[in-house]
Amino acid sequence: MLLCLCTGASLYGIALIYSATRWTESLRCVLVQSIALLIGIVIYIALTFVDFQMLVEKGWKVFLCFNVGFLLLLLTPLGTDNNSGNLNWLALDKIIPGFPLDLQPNEIVKIPFIILLAWQITRLRDRGRSISSIPSVMQIAGHTLFMVAIIAVICGDMGMCTVYISIFVIMAWIAGVKGRWFLVGGAGLVGGFLLAWHTVLQSDRFKYIRMRFLVVLDHDLDPLDKGFHQNRSLLALGSGQFTGQGYLNGTQTQAPYSSALPARHTDFIFSACGEELGMVGCVLILLVLVAIILRCFYVGRTSSSPFCAYVSIAFGGMLLVQTVFNVGMCLYVLPVMGLTLPFFSYGGSSLITLFIAMGVVSSMKARSLPSWLRDRSRI
């Protein structure tokens, strides 16, 4: 069921990407996304038969070194920002000429990060330690802040940092960390944000981040610059009304870039869908994503071990957070954070990463099999 839902969402996304890039008269994005889908399906099926709990128990240091080392590759000549302002991608075409995909390490690293954090929580509980004790909370929080700090310093991607923190909060909550820690953490985040607002974000270098928040509160503040993307997004969604202007017939979706919705095949694909397929198309997107998220939660709820539950629910929470932030950004109720819509937005490495994540969830589902069948070494 999960594989069918993910494949259906991706095919729907490819259809939207084709429409959003049709004005360029190039099929490159569609081809890249289609190849990524095929690769993702193969990897999904292969990962279903992998016992990740056993892997992380025997090689947790490998997981940690991979996370750090893969992010550090962005500091090599392979690192590129793809004109986004954030050093997020590895340009593999510098090694393999003509290679169509750029890898996004901070996307890929989310998978071993979640697996490692789940194992860390499980190990603390198995050793009889209270998950709400100061040493336990400091250990799992320190792991998360360490990864967030690396991403913030190297990539400068605050949206991705938010996702990592959200994943930690979800896993800590389901693990049973007491509410007082969330109050302390929330107060610390609010205090840190207010401090940054009146210090760092006042500088010319980071003024654009401050403006992204201000334009959400006042849509008329900077409509031709920092608020331009979201103003065009609202226009696209509003013009689509209930049933849309028709597939391949959207006014902004089919117009040249200078006079249309920016990033219509990536960050704002939800708005492009709203213009051409209306509220009906947007609700269909949300229903498919909700079904995938609920399936992840169901696998976690029926898992045979706490580790499997933590991993499955964390991946479902990851999808939920990214969906809420992306749709909120398109509706102009949240600031632009550079988070794409899972399975729908263009991005080969992002799509493959999502299928890897769902393959891990499928593996967690397989762990509920009887031990004699689960232990294939006996066969």
**pLDDT per residue over 125-159, tens digit each?**
888 888 889 999 999 999 999 999 999 888 888 88
pLDDT band at residue 332 under the 50/70/90 scheme: very high
pLDDT band at residue 97 under the 50/70/90 scheme: confident
Contact by Cβ (8 Å): 299, 312: yes
The tokens for 106 are 């901070």
Residue 79: helix, strand or coil by DSSP? strand
- Give this prediction's pTM: 0.91
**Per-residue CA distances from 353 to 43, 55, 211, 299 (Å):** 10, 19, 31, 19
Above 90 in pLDDT, residue 14?
yes
Above 80 in pLDDT, residue 171?
yes
The residue count of the chain comes to: 379
247 phi/psi in degrees, rounded to 5: -60, 130
pLDDT of residue 369: 52
Task: State the Cα–Cα distance between residues 69 and 150, nearest whole angstrom.
Answer: 11
pLDDT band at residue 378 under the 50/70/90 scheme: very low
pLDDT of residue 259: 66
Task: State the Cα–Cα distance between residues 146 and 322, nearest whole angstrom.
Answer: 21
Residue 102 bridge partners (DSSP) = 91
CB proximity list for 359: less than 8 A, separation 6 or greater: 43, 44, 45, 46, 47, 48
Residue 103 bridge partners (DSSP) = 90
Closest CA to 292 of 213, 233, 362: 362
pLDDT band at residue 223 under the 50/70/90 scheme: confident
pLDDT in tens, 290-318: 999 999 999 999 888 899 999 999 999 99
pLDDT band at residue 336 under the 50/70/90 scheme: confident
